[in-house]
Structure 1
Amino acid sequence: PAATPALLPPPGPGHVPSQLPEEHRALMALLVDVKGLRRATQATPLDVELLTLEDLDRKPLLEAKEVLLKLRDVVQRTEAIQTEIQALSNPESGPEPPGARDALHSERAALADRVLEYSNAVYEILPLQAGWQHPKALDRMRKVQGMLHHIETLLDVEYAKKVVLAARHRASVRDPLDYAYAATGATLKALSPAEDVYVMIAQYMQRGLQAGGTPPKINALFSVDCPAERNRFDRIGNHRLLWHGTHASNVIAILTQGLRVAPPDAESHGTAFGRGIYFADVFRKSWAYCGGDRGRGEPQQ
């Protein structure tokens, strides 16, 4: 049987029998696995002693995100000013307007003060772990994007945590993994290995690896039906099978809320073409985003 996460009570006397097929139970056990959720918090530079999984609070995360979005605008303008200053030194730009350079330097200095103000505000809301470097100003877009990415990860973990705690609270009347599955609002159908779609996806995985690469073992493939998105999906005729990689800790939020446009919080190497929802037509490209810590012998999932 599928492993039951540590934060959920183990089956015992009076345990309510599960109504889920074994493939669904195995999937839900992975998605609400507390060890995996804790690893997701520990992968961020934020102080997980103050952000323990059980006490992870959405409010300060949203407060920090709001400050970071303001900081993003300031950093964007600062970087634009630097470009404008460089353009003034270009002979092809024509004569330099009187006072233009001084005005830009003055504006940049004022923005630098705001960068420090907003950076300090973020660290006051969400302190860093003791082992990380002394907090520095978030004065580059990649730094802001990186911190926003960490906060988005924690927001997804916090959502999954709520599902786990609610499942534990109702364990006397409903199997915890059954509750977690129902909480997503999605309908998952396990595909048979004999189905054409299953065979096609397995072939795409094999062909999308590096030469000589070994494809991961397929435990199960599911089709997903989200009622809130069904009408929009049916209205669009341009249907394609594409890959999208993400960590297991994000999937509960994705099943519930759908894939979200990558905000300015996505990692810089993951937004090469601007904001949007990213897909790939080759398996290995998306697989790289699926998590797992090879240094600790943990598989990508």
Structure 2
Amino acid sequence: MKEHLPSLTTELRNERTMQIDSADTLDILRIINEEDQKVALAVQKVLPDVRVAVDFAVQSLSRGGRLIYIGAGTSGRLGVLDAVECPPTFSTPPEWVQGLMAGGEKAFVKAVEGAEDKEEWGERDLREIGLTDKDTVVGIAASGRTPYVIGALKYARRIGAKAVALSCNERARISREADHAIEVVVGPEVLTGSTRMKAGTAHKMILNMISTTTMIKLGKVYENLMVDVNISNHKLKERAIHIIRTVTGVSTEQAIEALEQAHNEVKTAIVMLEAKTTYEGAVERLKQANGYVRQAILQALR
């Protein structure tokens, strides 16, 4: 595969940045910013493909499966970053969304040389977390040719899990190993081959979209509020109180009291106040509405 590397879009030289080493600081910043502006437009073109990944993830989580990101280097770190934000943002169990990277957890802060070149390690890491046919695996590789990711996607499909390939090159190698591919082509990097830049930004945007949209579809959001936020610190408790007040219009004191009665469950507190019911009543209404706050409130007002 090495002989094909120079021909990849992610490895081409950017004609607009040939003289960047002699530019002054502000001009360098402008060049980088102008290139970054192209990323959102590239992501826009692949939204239909991102939708498929979301549909896979919603299906997996709805039937007891998981969403698994797997990659090497920057790609792996971005997957881990998105995964670890889900429990505090949406009160999801840590196993719901997981991030795996070549070389293991220690590779997050320090590169593990050669880890990404081992196709069998991708399969091994998925075996170790007990991957099943209920899961969705998103393999991330800017180049689209990382052996570790190829091995992971091959294994995922072999056991019947949904496999999604996320890359920044057309006709990427990993696309052939997936049920569906997202190829977001952002063009040559400001620094040739430095895919932590535009490619990384594009992947961060898409991973944000996948996890956030999945959680919205699963009832973790009401209007545009994080009603399933996990209250693990003072800041998040303040946010929870503000959310309750925003939805219900009650005073701060009433919001605090409802939150305490709801055992720090924001969704439950909102339904208690809007439906004028007890904690147990709110829990039951949410259960009947499959966790969707809007439906629980509407049912109470009928």
Q: Which has the higher contact order (CA 8 A, sep 6+)?
A: 1
Q: Which structure carries more helix by proportion?
A: 2
Q: Is TM more than 0.5 here?
A: no
More strand by share: 2
TM-score range, shorter chain: under 0.3
TM-score of the superposed pair, with normalisation by structure 2: 0.22
TM-score by length of 1: 0.23
